[in-house]
Amino acid sequence: MNKAKQGLLAKFNMDEIMNCMHCGFCLPACPTYRETGLESHSPRGRIALMKGVASSQLAIDQEFEKNMYACLGCRACETACPAGVPYGSLVETAREVVEEKKKSESKPPFVRKLVFEKVFPYPERMKALGTALWAAQSTGLQTLANKTGLINILPREMAEMQQAVDKIASPKERKQRKQVMPAQTAETVLTVGMFTGCVMDVMFFETNQATAGLLTKAGCRVVFVENQACCGALHAHAGEKDGAIELAKRNIEAFERAGVDLVVNNAGGCGAALKEYHHWFADDPEWKERAMAFVAKVRDANEVLAELPPLVFTKPLNARVTYQDSCHLAHGQGVRNQPRQLLKSIPGVELVEMSGADSCCGSAGIYNITNFDMSMQILDDKMEHVKETKAHIIATSNPGCLLQMKKGIIRAGLEGQMEAVHIMDLLARAL
C-alpha cells in the first residue's frame, strides 16, 4: 500500500468503528433505510463499509461514495444507539477520505470549488448573492420566471426549492441593523454574541433580528460580532474538513475578541457544528483548548430563553401548532424540551405533537439539492404525519427545516391552510 493511501485510511478511527455492535437498533431510526430497505443505506451498513475500506478489504470507489452521500447526516441513529457510536463524525471522515482521494486523482469540479472555497467562507459574497435574489424578487423577475416557465433553466432541484423561498430583507434593512442591542430590562443579565450564520443572515435576516429582540426582552445585551464566518458544517458534511477547520478558527478568534458571556445561535445545524469544534482540533492541542473554551459558551436560543425569566406575551395566537424537531438540535445537541416549553408559554397556542417529530424532514443541509428525489420522498412521508395533527402552524428551529416544511406544504396542497414558521418568529409574533 502506498503512503498516500495509508495516510487516507489512517483518518478512520477504528476504535469508534469497532464499537458498532451491528445490533440493528439504528435501522428503524434511519430515514434512508426506512425508504429503501437497503443495508448499505443504514448506519450499521455504512459503518461495515467503512470498516472494509479502513482495513483495505474494500476500495474507495463510486459505490462507497454513493452510500456515504446517501446518508442525510440526521444523527437519529446516535440517539438510538446503545453503544454511543459517534456516527456523525464517522460519516464525515468517510466523506473526507472520498474527497481527498478524488482530489489526488483530479481537480475538484468547478462548482464545488466555487461554493466551498469562493462563496461560503466570505460573508460579503453571501450577502451579495442575497442582494441579487432580493432584486429578482422585488422587481418581479422571480414571479415572471415562475409564470413563464423560465425558471426551468435552473436545475430541477433548484427550480423546485425556490418555490419555498420567502421574500428576503433588502440591503437597506440589513445596513440599518445596530451592532449592539441593549437589554430591555432594568438590569442586564448577560452579554451574548449573536452567531448570525451565512445562509441564515441572508435568507432569514428577520429571524435573526427577532431572535436578538427576544433576547433583549429577556435581559440580554446582544452583540452582532464582527468578522464571524460560516460555521463550517456544510464543509464538514461534504468532506471538506480543512475548510471547516479554517472557518472554525475564524469564529473562535472573532468571539474571543468580542469577550461575550455566551455565543447564541438559532439554527440547529450551525449549533451542532459550533458545539463540536473541539473534536475538529483533536490533533492540535493549542487550538483544541481554545475551541473547548468557545464550545463552553455556545447555546441555542431556545436553551437561553428557556433558562431566563419568562417572556411577557401580549398577543394570544389562538392557533394549533405542531413542532418539527431540527435533527441537529434534537439528536446532535439534545435540545428537545426547551422549544416545546416556549411554545406552550404562548397564550392561545395548542401544541399538538406529531408522530415522528424528531425524524428527519429530508432537508439535511443541501441534501434536498444533491439528493432531491429521496429528499422529497422523505418529506412526503413527513407531511402525512403533519396532516394528522390538523395544525395551523408547523414550528421548527432550523433554516433548512423551515424551507423544507414550506416546500412540504406546497407539495401537500395545504397553502392557505397551514404555514411553516421559525420558532423565534412565532415567539416574536406573540410579543
CATH number for 98: 1.10.1060.10
| pLDDT for 146 | 82
pTM of the entire structure? 0.93
Domain end call among 259, 288, 309: 309
Q: How far apart are CA 429 and CA 417, in angstroms?
A: 18
Of 55, 79, 105, the last residue of a domain is 105
The pLDDT of residue 4 is 60
Same structural domain for residues 119 and 48?
no
Written as nine digits, the cell of 67 is 452510500
**For residue 10, what pLDDT is reported?**
84
337 and 293 in a single domain? The answer is no
The predicted-structure confidence for 275-291, as pLDDT tens digits, reads as follows: 999 999 988 999 999 99
Residues 318 and 420 in one domain: yes
- Show the DSSP H helices in 55-121 as ranges: 62-69, 76-80, 87-105, 110-113
**What residues form DSSP beta bridges with 365?**
none
The secondary structure of 297-357 as a DSSP string is TEEEHHHHHHHSSPP---S---EEEEEE--HHHHTTT---HHHHHHHHTSTTEEE-PPTTT
In the numeric block, which cell numbers belong to residue 83?
Answer: 453503544
Which ranges of the chain have pLDDT less than 50? none
Task: Tell whether 287 and 227 lie within a shared domain.
Answer: yes
Q: What DSSP element (H or E) covers 420?
A: strand 419-422
Phi-psi region of 350 (alpha: psi -120 to 50; beta: other; left: phi over 0): beta
Q: How many domains does the chain have?
A: 3
> Do 262 and 390 sit in the same domain of this protein?
no
Parent domain of 304: 109-309
| pLDDT value of position 2 | 60
Same domain, 415 and 323: yes
Do 77 and 197 have their domain in common?
no
* 261 and 364 co-located in one domain: no
Distance CA 194, CA 192 (A): 6
Residues 188 and 284 in one domain: yes
Backbone phi and psi for residue 10, each to the nearest 5 degrees, phi listed first = -70, -15
Domain boundary among 53, 70, 105: 105
Asked if 162 and 156 touch (Cβ cutoff 8 Å), the reply is no
**Pair 121, 93 in one domain:** no
Q: Are residues 331 and 316 in the same domain?
A: yes
HSE-CB of 124 using CA atoms within 13 angstroms: 2
pLDDT at residue 83, as a whole number? 95
Residues 6+ apart with CB under 8 A from 250: 227, 228, 229
Q: What is the reported pLDDT for 281?
A: 95
According to the model, what pLDDT value does residue 1 have? 57
Whether 202 and 155 map to the same domain: the answer is: yes
